[in-house]
Structure formats: C-alpha cells, structure tokens
Amino acid sequence: MSEAAEKKTLIEAVNLALDHAMEEDRDVVVLGEDVGTNGGVFRATQGLKDKYGLRRVMDTPLAETLIAGMTVGMSTQGMKPVAEIQFMGFIFACMEQLIGHAARMRNRTRGRLTCPMVVRAPFGGGIHAPEHHSESTEALFAHIPGLRVVIPSSPVRAYGLLRSAIENPDPVIFLEPKRIYRVQKQVLPDSDFRLPLDTCFTLREGSDLTLVTWGACVRECQEVVRQLAEEGISVELIDVATIKPLDMDTILASVRKTGRCVIVHEAARSFGVGAEIAARVSTDLFHELHAPVERVAGYDITMPYYRMEKHYLPDENRIRQACLQAFGN
C-alpha cells in the first residue's frame, strides 16, 4: 500500500502536502518556530528536516515579525516559502509584514516583484488550549487587498488546497482548523491532486435552504443537515474554503434556488466574513429571499478561556434553530 493510499487525518494531509511540494520543487522551503527537529507542535512538519535538511526546513528564532519579514524577502527571490505561525494568536506580530508588504509587493512594483508565499497557522477553538490559542480572525486577512485566505475542512481539501496555495504566485494565508486536525481520516488522491483557490465546495445539494460555512463548523453543519433531512428539510451545504477571493457565484446560485441562507462561522459575528456574504446575498437576491439571511457565529466578545468556550462556539442547536427560523419556525 502506498503512502498516499493510507487514510490520513487533516494534519497528516498538511504534512504530506508539504512533503510532496518540497520533493517536487527545490524552491519550496519551510520555516517557523519548532518546525525542524520537533516537527511542529502539531507535527505538521514532522520528518521534513530529516528528508530535506536544515537549509530547507528552518527552525527560526522565536520572532514572528521576523518570520513574516524573511518570508516576504525570500519570496521576492522566487522561492516558495511556507511559514508556520505556531498559533493564530501569535500572528498579529506579522500583520505589518503581511498587510504592508506581502499583500502589496506585486501591486507596488507593478509585477516586477511578487510574493509567492504561504503562511500557515492553526486557528479556532475547541481543543481546550490556553489563552491566545483559540481565536478565529480570518476576516482580518480577508479584508486586505492582495491576500488570499484559504481554510480547509477535510484531509482531502487540506491536501489539494495546500498544494495549490504553495504553487500559487501570490501570498496565501492558510488557516487550519485545529479542532478537526485529527477527527476524520480520508484516503488522499494522487500527488498531482489540486483544488482551485477560488471555488466554494458544495458538500451536499439541497432545495430548501443554503447553509454556508467553513473550517471546523462544517462538521456541526453536516450533522444539522442530516437531522433536518430526516425532518423533510432539504439543505444545500456549502464549504466556502476559499474565503478570499470569495466565490459568490456558487453561493448566489444556491440561494437563488433555495431562497434561504444561513451562514455559520466561529469568528465573532460583527464585521466578519459572514457579514460580507450576507450583504452580497441580500443585494443580489433581495426579491428572491423567503427569509432574511441569518448568521450563526461567535459572539462579539473576547474568546473565552476553555472552561466556557463551548458557550461561544456555534453548536448544532444554534445552527438548527437558525435554519428553522428561516422557515418561520
């Protein structure tokens, strides 16, 4: 049985995608804190240092601003660095580099220099992690012109999207929902498998309501879709996956069909990606909607420490209630 034919978890899929990308392209390098000998705190880079050496699998000093800055610099030389930020809560030191440089390099040099780089970070709550380890701030990146934002929700999509992200000529923020790093195993396709970075995935077709989500919330949504199906409600489930650029065509086509839209995300509700989707659905499909677009999201509060985090995270009950409300129940 080949390596790729074994069932893999999401984190193992990330590891395999990095491995294959490094094997195929010498310009792909990995850097970050503890990514070398330790293989990353979640083991995303396990085995890579032994296989590709210290020069291509770089344990950096403990300095996130530096990691982002050097990733920008390396990528202007045509390398394809994949930087790991250990937790999304530590990515804020990178923001000046990501917003002020990575996102702008192509534009400010009119294509003379580019940043074909990936910044990976585990994100989201639900694993009882310490403070600063559980936030979901994808909207901060999605708001910035020039950045791509990608969030996989299954091992297969993690592999296909990460391979595409590494090959993409622009900076990609690749956010990994750590709550589902190890909950599902899938057989991965061949190493030439890629997924588009500008297309939503319709995970299940339905006719009565469109449920739009991404990341770890896909799992709760799948369960709600199953429950509602038993009750005779046919739900179309969309995993946005590529937050930016946002594939509105798929979402609009679905809502045009169902007339109802519920958006689910873990990030705080206000000013988020859900708000953007809701605005566009409302603008384009105002007369075709049977109910207002509803959001189920984290609250506009600081991410609670883990004893209370379950009150923050969207759960099946909240998602189900929002769906039923769209039918006037």
Partner 1 sequence: MSTSLDGGDLFRVHRDDIPYVRFLGADGQPTQPLPEWVNDERTMVGYYKAMVKAREADRKAIAMQRTGQMGTYPSGLGQEAPGVVYGSLMNKDDVLVPYYRDLSGQLLRGVELSDIYLYWGGDERGSAGEGYGQDLPNCVPIATQAGHAVGIASAFRIRGEQRVAVTTCGDGATSKGDFLEALNLAGTWQLPVVFLVVNNQWAISVPRQIQCGAPTLAQKGAGAGVPCVQVDGNDVVALHEVIGSAIERARKGKGAMVIEAITYRLGDHTTADDATRYRPNDEVRKAWEEEPVKRLQTWLHQRGWWSPEQETALQEQVRSEVQKAVEKYLSTPLPETSDLFDYHFAETPIGLRQQHEEMQGGLSHE
Catalytic residue set: 133
The contacts of residue 34 (CB under 8 Å, 6+ apart) are 40, 41, 59, 86
Residues 68, 97: contact at Cβ < 8 Å? yes
Q: Residue 70 interacts with partner 1 (CB under 8 A)?
A: yes
Between 252 and 303, name the residue whose CB sits nearer to partner 1. Answer: 252
Pick the stretch among 167-175, 177-185, 209-217, 320-328 that binds partner 1 (CB under 8 A): 167-175
Q: Give the count of residues interacting with partner 1 (CB under 8 A).
A: 48
Which of the residues 72 through 91 are near partner 1 (CB under 8 A)? Answer: 72-77, 79, 81
Q: Residue 92 interacts with partner 1 (CB under 8 A)?
A: no
Which of the residues 10 through 69 are near partner 1 (CB under 8 A)? Answer: 29, 55-56, 58, 60-61, 63, 65-66, 68-69
Q: Residue 240 interacts with partner 1 (CB under 8 A)?
A: no
Residues 116, 75: contact at Cβ < 8 Å? yes
Nearest approach, Cβ of 125 to partner 1 (angstroms)? 29
Between 112 and 307, name the residue whose CB sits nearer to partner 1. Answer: 112
Between 81 and 124, name the residue whose CB sits nearer to partner 1. Answer: 81
Which of the residues 117 through 136 are near partner 1 (CB under 8 A)? Answer: none
Residues lying near partner 1 in the complex (CB under 8 A): 29, 55-56, 58, 60-61, 63, 65-66, 68-77, 79, 81, 96-97, 100-101, 106-114, 145-146, 148, 168-170, 198, 245-246, 248-249, 280, 283-284
